[in-house]
Amino acid sequence: MTAEYKVLGDVAVITLANPPVNGLGFSTRTGITDGLSKALEDAAVKAIVITGAGKAFSGGADIKEFGTPKALQDPNLLSVILALEASTKPIVAAIHSVCMGGGLELALGCHYRVAAPGTSVALPEVKLGLLPGAGGTQRLPRVLGVETALNMIVSGEPVKSELLASLPGQKLFDKLAASPESLFEEAVEFAQSVAAKDGELPLVRKLPCKHPQGDAYFQFARNMVGGMSKNYPAPLKCVDAVQAATQMKFDDGMAEERRLFTALMFTPESLALRHLFMAERAASRIPDVPEDTPQRAIKSVGVIGAGTMGGGITMNFLNAGIPVKILEMKQEALDRGIATIRKNYEAQVKKGKLKADKYDQRMALLSTTLAYDDLKDADLIIEAVFEELGVKEKVFNELDRVAKPGAILASNTSTLDVDKIAAFTKRPQDVVGMHFFSPANVMKLLEVVRGKETAKDVLATVMAVAKKIKKTAVVSGVCDGFIGNRMIEQYSRQAGFLLDEGATPQQVDKAVEKFGFAMGPFRMGDLAGNDIGWAIRKRRAVEYPDMKYSRTADKLCELGRYGQKTGAGWYDYQAGKRDAIPSELVNKMIEEHRKELGITPRKISDEEIVQRLVYALVNEGAHILEDGIASKSGDIDMVYLTGYGFPIWRGGPMHYANQVGLYNVAEAMKRFAKNPRDDASFWQPAPLIRKLVAEGKQFS
Ligand code: T1G
């Protein structure tokens, strides 16, 4: 069992011991009820303390158990909490570090709660598309008040224990320990003090739960969360559950919470969010790199290039407290780069997102140079220079000359071959790709591109650095476009073919934005710059002459319509505005082009638009798995979610394909392959998809 029992004098101690975060899985729940029985049977025991070993009191129900029989196996969490409430001896929860979800619900079933300062307290179930399902919606309002509790439940965000303990009239914490170090001792003393008390033991369930404005408040709350909830139901159900706490007897409120929770458990949105919770953490695990691989110390970073990417990359490290030296060839380039970094920080200070002293601290970590030799002590050097192999060669020749042995040499390239770049040095084992996404200080995604000689400790180090700078790092092998850009290539091709066949840019964009993408392909092109895709297509036309494309995008660029930066792209824009206005000129150009191709435009459904764009991602993603470029389908989902605006409540392209059913996806692909205007060879379902369909399996 993963809960330990011991007796200290007249106090029994039950310690949750299920690393890493004391998830309340079956073995832990059994350990708690076993310990409780022993304590109740032991006459010498006058009081009980429940605490958590390691880095958490408890991170909640064991998410890994969800959907398995164990999750409901008795003693289930509800029955454990009822047993705590029914105890005839006082139970004190000694809470430290992390007290979340079912962990907080467990503590609310205790008679008393003593917390260490600095403890993160949350009911984050809504982030999993759920709501607290073990009494959190019924008990938390009783100890914190309806509004504070509802805010915590609907946001899922953690609040520090000392802030909650300071709220007037709060009954969540009976005592705030002086420090995390003294928590346990103070909790034991507190238990001894209440053991001596006569009278009924306090139960949260018996506290009143009302809101003075009643229904009017909850209507207001529904309006507030309505926006968040248009794509997934959980936030509004949270409001329903808390309102039930103010209108029903406790046990009826609990039954209502259970009904609402159970209904959410198997919604596609919750399945998607739980998949992503696991996929995000699994992405940091590289199959052939043991988790205990020693890492290189990264105490200082060099960045080459003070342009948009170099500046953004630099900010990530400054934000994490890591000193950065930026190298440029000319002083004015350095001055421009530093000015941009300052402007970004000053904007954050102005918005109240960054304290002025923190801004100063970060800028104090920044230095500049015009000489490669000044990078000789850097532990990690990242180049963000012009995307041209010849330029990279010069940079890496210099780095090979000046960098200290063991320094990690990283390229921010988004399309070039990392193996070729590594070959510009005598230390290919120290070379890796770190592909940041623009704006590099904002976008969470980092593609870590491993060359065939990249050392395992270099990978382990870069993955740890990524976590430190708050990036979602995904390892990619070396191929054209790595994972994300290789997939968006197929997505963009389909978008072009759809125009040739009869759709308009606004119809395609609206269809995918209704599906949930942050931005459709054409609005995205206008934002990022249509000339970027144009340059890539020109390069690819040489490398892959038989790759079929629609010519519309090229024709657009030949008109100089690169997008917002030229004031016109797929859409028209009014000066200084970013609102995309459907362009008569462009739609005429598309019609003319159809005539040149001899195509009679046809009406294309939104469903076909979404399927051709999303399944193009899925088919290419399957090839990426077959080629070993990505090691797991969850990695591909993380890339597309954090780098390309795939709707989070759909779990990523590969998870979405699983939910649609790979058989149905394959059948759609076969239909698209029959379309003479399309690319029949591309639409052959990838061998991996055919294999999974034949075996009745899914992407794992
Ligand atoms: N269950 C199982 N494993 C969990 C877990 C959980 N609740 N929380 C974390 N882990 C694993 C995680 O997968 C990873 O392991 C390792 O712990 C470290 O995680 C009935 C239904 C607690 C703040 O949503 O927010 O209770 O994958 O890298 O940065 O109402 O984990 O690497 O092997 O995130 O220090 C509600 C989710 C559950 C909390 C720690 N609870 N966890 O952050 O470490 S539903 C949550 C977190 C519930 C009840 C309902 C964070 C953390 P591995 P990590 P961290």
Token pair belonging to 43: 């006459």
Best of 16, 21, 160 for a ligand 1 pocket test (most atoms within 8 Å of beta carbon)? 21
pLDDT at 301: 98
Q: How far apart are CA 654 and CA 657, in angstroms?
A: 5
CB count, 10 Å around CB of 582?
A: 14
Could you identify the residue written with the tokens 């435009």? Answer: 601
Looking at the CA of residue 132, tell me the nearest atom of ligand 1: 30
Burial of 44 (0-12, 13-18, 19+ CB in 10 A): exposed
Mean pLDDT for all residues in the chain: 95
Whether ligand 1 lies within 6 angstroms of the CB of 470 is answered as no
What does the pLDDT average to over 525-538? Answer: 89
Q: How far apart are CA 254 and CA 257, in angstroms?
A: 5
Report whether pLDDT(536) > 90: no
Beta carbons of 155 and 225 less than 8 angstroms apart: no
Report whether pLDDT(100) > 80: yes
pLDDT at 578: 86
Q: How far apart are CA 304 and CA 337, in angstroms?
A: 11
Beta carbons of 7 and 44 less than 8 angstroms apart: yes
Centre of ligand 1 to C-alpha 155, Å, is 17
Whether ligand 1 lies within 6 angstroms of the CB of 61 is answered as yes
Whether ligand 1 lies within 6 angstroms of the CB of 102 is answered as yes
Centre of ligand 1 to C-alpha 588, Å, is 53
Centre of ligand 1 to C-alpha 152, Å, is 17
Q: How far apart are CA 267 and CA 65, in angstroms?
A: 17
Whether ligand 1 lies within 6 angstroms of the CB of 145 is answered as no
Residue type, 141: P
329-352 pLDDT, tens digit per residue, is: 999 999 999 999 999 999 999 999
- Residues catalogued as catalytic: 105, 125
Report whether pLDDT(543) > 90: no
Predicted ipTM of the assembly: 0.97
pLDDT at 72: 82
Residue whose CA is at the smallest distance from ligand 1 atom 49: 102
29-61 pLDDT, tens digit per residue, is: 999 999 999 999 999 999 999 999 999 999 999
Report whether pLDDT(183) > 80: yes
Residue type, 491: Y
Closest CA to 14 of 58, 70, 55: 58
Q: How many Cα atoms are found within 13 Å in the side-chain-facing hemisphere of 190? A: 24
pLDDT at 164: 98
Residue whose CA is at the smallest distance from ligand 1 atom 31: 59
Q: For residue 20, is the peptide bond before it cis, meaning its omega torsion is within 30 degrees of 0?
A: yes
Chain center to CA of 23: 20
Closest CA to 209 of 263, 148, 126: 148
What does the pLDDT average to over 88-114? Answer: 98
Whether ligand 1 lies within 6 angstroms of the CB of 496 is answered as no
pLDDT at 634: 97
Q: For residue 439, is the peptide bond before it cis, meaning its omega torsion is within 30 degrees of 0?
A: yes
Whether ligand 1 lies within 6 angstroms of the CB of 281 is answered as yes
139-174 pLDDT, tens digit per residue, is: 999 999 999 999 999 999 999 999 999 999 999 999
pLDDT at 679: 84
Report whether pLDDT(1) > 80: no
63-94 pLDDT, tens digit per residue, is: 888 888 888 888 999 999 999 999 999 999 99
Strand residues in 314-353 grouped as ranges (E): 324-327
282-304 pLDDT, tens digit per residue, is: 999 999 999 999 999 999 999 99
Beta carbons of 88 and 40 less than 8 angstroms apart: yes
Q: How far apart are CA 476 and CA 403, in angstroms?
A: 25
What does the pLDDT average to over 109-133? Answer: 97
Centre of ligand 1 to C-alpha 62, Å, is 8
Q: How far apart are CA 435 and CA 473, in angstroms?
A: 10
Centre of ligand 1 to C-alpha 59, Å, is 5
pTM, full prediction: 0.92
126-140 pLDDT, tens digit per residue, is: 999 999 999 999 999
632-675 pLDDT, tens digit per residue, is: 999 999 999 999 999 999 999 999 999 999 999 999 999 999 98
350-392 pLDDT, tens digit per residue, is: 999 999 999 999 999 999 999 999 999 999 999 999 988 999 9
Residue whose CA is at the smallest distance from ligand 1 atom 51: 59
Whether ligand 1 lies within 6 angstroms of the CB of 628 is answered as no
Looking at the CA of residue 55, tell me the nearest atom of ligand 1: 35
Centre of ligand 1 to C-alpha 355, Å, is 30
Whether ligand 1 lies within 6 angstroms of the CB of 156 is answered as no
Q: How far apart are CA 698 and CA 633, in angstroms?
A: 10
Closest CA to 146 of 236, 255, 246: 246
Centre of ligand 1 to C-alpha 98, Å, is 10
Report whether pLDDT(532) > 90: no
- Dihedral sign, CA of 254, 256, 257, 258? positive
Strand residues in 229-385 grouped as ranges (E): 301-304, 324-327, 366-369, 380-383
197-240 pLDDT, tens digit per residue, is: 888 999 999 999 999 998 999 999 999 888 767 788 999 999 99
Q: For residue 75, is the peptide bond before it cis, meaning its omega torsion is within 30 degrees of 0?
A: yes
406-416 pLDDT, tens digit per residue, is: 999 999 999 89
Whether ligand 1 lies within 6 angstroms of the CB of 59 is answered as yes
Whether ligand 1 lies within 6 angstroms of the CB of 665 is answered as no
Task: Please give the backbone phi and psi of residue 354, each rounded to the nearest 5 degrees, phi first.
Answer: -145, 130
